[in-house]
Amino acid sequence: MSLSGFVCFLRRSLLQLEGRIVQATGLDRQFVPALAVHGPNALPQTQDESEETTEPSFLDHVLWMAAPKKRRTIEINRTRRRSSEFMIKVKNNIEPCVECGHLKQKHILCGFCYEKIRKETARIRGQIRAMEGGPLNTPAQETVVLYDSESPGEADKNKRIVETSRKRPSWFSTH
Amino acid sequence: MRLTLQMLISHGRVARKMGLGPESRLNMLRNILTGLVKHERIETTLGRADEVRFYAEKLIDYAKKGDTDTKAMKMANFWLTVLLYHRFFLLVSLSYSDPVPSTLFCFCLPDFYEYSWFFGSSSYFLFSLWFQEKDLIPKLFKVLAPRFEAQPKGYTRMARIPNRENLDKAAMAVLEYKGNPFPPLQPAKRENELTLINQLLKGYREEQAQQAAAMVESQ
């Protein structure tokens, strides 16, 4: 390389370095406003703002609402409608009654057995009503039901005895 | 009334609503309880039976206090009453003050005037006829209270029955005081000796007995 070329290179690099130092130190900055605007335009105007902040109308939302994209085919519809959710629910709490064998629900008394008990209770009540004669004649005594050829025992001393000529049913045991 | 969100949501509210309002609910329960004390076994809807159960047991608790206790007597007098007519309209003149002198109501106590309305010249009286069952009070104190003397609680038994046959298919229950003279709702379970396991066990017991007898003889 020639001497003049070297001198030029040196000069250029020194100028560059000087420029970088001036930039770094901030001596190149001019204290002048970046933007000058006419007064009234710079201040915010309240009327414009209130118009801008009103809620977008309903029609603007329409473009963002959910809608089905495709028609549901009859196969898909059938699968949904005939799923277990819409069918009658299966009951697995049905069992046969131990006494009579009729079906009953686990938490409910057997209908057949209860009907027998209800009829017998109604018969006993009919007899009690006949014994009492009218309303407001309930005695202040316990009641005991005795069937055909049964005699009152030790515990039945102070009780009102309701006698019937029928045979004692097998499910109405004496305690 | 203010329509609050609390009014629409009933999360955690356990008190039942029955009839036309709280007063109507108590009247209904009173009728049912009177029937229960009279007959000792009744059939009602599930909800009503469940509600009455509490009052039935409380009534026995009060009856246990005895005949002489004023509170117990007041309770018995209040609860063992049957509501005959509710809000019975009667067109009467303004000077009318005596009860209706009919043989039908001779044992009634029509002395409860709820309120009277005046429509122009004529006057209507709204009143409810209560009929106190005088024979059930001695029954309560002399029969039911001594019967449950030994038990601290659990005087009633409630069991569900198949739904009512009507169109409403209401869930029904039978409610009874324990110790009533009627046939039991659930007959006592008896072990069936003819099942395989019971037969095997019977054979085993007999064998053991034979062996024990043989041991005793040899010694």
Domain boundaries, chain A: 94-163
CA distances to A125, B35, B50, B84, B174 from B31, in Å: 19, 6, 14, 9, 16
CA distance A139 to chain B (A): 7
Among A117, A118, A140, beta carbon nearest to B139: A140
Q: How far apart are CA B185 and CA B174, in angstroms?
A: 9
Strand partners, B44: B173
Inform me whether the C-beta atom of residue A143 falls under 8 Å from chain B C-beta atoms.
yes
Q: Could you tell me if A159 and A144 are in contact, meaning their C-beta atoms sit under 8 angstroms apart? A: yes
Inform me whether the C-beta atom of residue A167 falls under 8 Å from chain B C-beta atoms.
no
pLDDT band at residue B111 using 50, 70 and 90 as cut-offs? very low
Q: What is the mean pLDDT of residues B30-51?
A: 96
C-alpha torsion sign, points A98, A103, A106, A111? negative
Q: Where are the alpha helices (DSSP H) in A63-138?
A: 74-81, 111-132
Residues of chain A with Cβ-Cβ distance to B141 below 8 Å are 140
What residues contact A145, with CB distance under 8 A and at least 6 apart?
A124, A162, A164, B181, B182
Q: Quick one: what percent of chain B has pLDDT higher than 90? A: 67
**Chain B, nearest residue to A97 by Cα:** B186
How does pLDDT run across B190-212, given as a tens digit for each residue? 888 899 999 999 999 999 999 99
Residues of chain A with Cβ-Cβ distance to B148 below 8 Å are none
Q: Do A109 and B135 touch (CB under 8 A)?
A: no
Q: How far apart are CA A115 and CA A123, in angstroms?
A: 12
Pair of tokens at residue B209: 């007995």
**Chain B, nearest residue to A170 by Cα:** B187
Q: Do A108 and B185 touch (CB under 8 A)?
A: no
C-alpha torsion sign, points B96, B102, B107, B113? negative
Q: How far apart are CA A103 and CA A110, in angstroms?
A: 7
Residues of chain A with Cβ-Cβ distance to B183 below 8 Å are 117, 120-121, 169, 171-172
Q: What is the mean pLDDT of residues B106-131?
A: 49
Q: How far apart are CA A119 and CA A100, in angstroms?
A: 16
pLDDT band at residue B126 using 50, 70 and 90 as cut-offs? low
Q: Do B162 and A124 touch (CB under 8 A)?
A: no
Interface test with A, best of B81, B82, B143 (most A CBs within 10 A): B143
Q: Do A145 and B181 touch (CB under 8 A)?
A: yes
pLDDT at residue B125 is higher than 70 = no
Q: Could you tell me if B84 and B131 are in contact, meaning their C-beta atoms sit under 8 angstroms apart? A: yes
Q: Do A140 and B188 touch (CB under 8 A)?
A: no
Residues of chain B with Cβ-Cβ distance to A125 below 8 Å are 39
Inform me whether the C-beta atom of residue A140 falls under 8 Å from chain B C-beta atoms.
yes
The string of DSSP letters for B11-78 reads TT------TTSHHHHHHHHHHHHHHHHHHSEEEEEHHHHHHHHHHHHHHHHHHHT-SS-HHHHHHHHH
Per-residue pLDDT of chain A (175 residues; tens, 9 = 90+): 688 888 888 999 999 988 898 888 877 777 777 777 776 666 666 665 555 556 666 666 667 899 999 999 999 999 999 999 999 999 999 999 988 999 999 999 999 999 999 999 999 999 999 999 988 889 999 999 999 888 888 888 888 888 888 888 888 877 5
Which of A75-79, B87-91, B146-150 is predicted with the least confidence, judged by mean pLDDT? B87-91
CA distance A138 to chain B (A): 6
pLDDT at residue B90 is higher than 60 = no
What residues contact B100, with CB distance under 8 A and at least 6 apart?
B90, B110
Inform me whether the C-beta atom of residue A169 falls under 8 Å from chain B C-beta atoms.
yes
Q: How far apart are CA B142 and CA B205, in angstroms?
A: 50
Q: How many CB atoms are closer than 10 A to CB A67?
A: 5
Among A109, A118, A144, beta carbon nearest to B159: A109
CA distance B80 to chain A (A): 12
What residues contact B215, with CB distance under 8 A and at least 6 apart?
none
Q: Do A111 and B162 touch (CB under 8 A)?
A: yes
Q: Dmax of chain A from CA atoms?
A: 151
CA distance A58 to chain B (A): 27
Q: Do A114 and B185 touch (CB under 8 A)?
A: yes
Tell me the pTM. 0.69
Among B134, B135, B185, beta carbon nearest to A117: B185
Among B136, B181, B182, beta carbon nearest to A138: B136
Q: On the CB side of B128, how many CA atoms lie within 13 Å of its CA?
A: 13
Q: How far apart are CA B13 and CA B164, in angstroms?
A: 27
Determine the residue type at B191.
E
pLDDT of res. A99: 87
pLDDT of res. B27: 94
